[in-house]
Amino acid sequence: MKLRRSKSDETTSATVTLAKPGGKGRPTPTRKEAEAAARERAKVPRTRKEQNARQRSARSESSQRIRQGMKEGDERYLLPRDKGPVRRFIRDFVDARFGFAEIVIPLMFVAILYSPLVVPLFLVLLVDLTVLRFRLRKQLATRFPDEPLKGTTYYALTRAMQMKFMRLPKPKVKIGSALPEHYR
């Protein structure tokens, strides 16, 4: 009769447990681990160096959480210029279309080497951004008739001129995809 678990039984049972969907993605700490972590947090730093290290790590964790929230488009972490349904619609509208504006920056490096190319690039950019502005204004007028449109053109043009992988918050829609009807 076997009353104890062997080490091989413990390792196999630990690897079999899977994270629940919608769970926190990690196992709940044991009481011993939780108490040790609480004691560690409660310790007062003895030296200035320890105090600075603790503050630096707290700032780092906070800024990392904020940065991740901004990338994901979480309203709590967005800058005031990015908040609201109108700005969310503008981001999706700009991200759902292919624009020449996002490839102009790499082409400008080529244009520096070959200067006559600068003028056509600038004209293409101007036409593309003008078309974007008029299409966006028409969509905003139909979708958000009561909202003020001040600053929306500037917001759209600055987002359109960024390369897609550098945009923050990250694009949520793919090029050519249909936009949702409601943004409230």
SS (H, E, C) the chain: CCCCCCHHHHHHHHHHCCCCCCCCCCCCCCHHHHHHHHHHHHCCCCCHHHHHHHHHHHHHHHHHHHHHHHHHCCCCCCCHHHCCHHHHHHHHHHHCCCCCHHHHHHHHHHHHHCHHHHHHHHHHHHHHHHHHHHHHHHHHHHHCCCCCCCCHHHHHHHHHCCCHHHCCCCCCCCCCCCCCCCCC
Residues of the chain with pLDDT under 50: 14
Instruction: Please state the pTM of the whole predicted model.
Output: 0.64
What is the reported pLDDT for 104?
Answer: 80
What is the reported pLDDT for 109?
Answer: 77
Domains of the chain: which residue ranges?
A: 46-77, 80-166
What is the reported pLDDT for 112?
Answer: 79
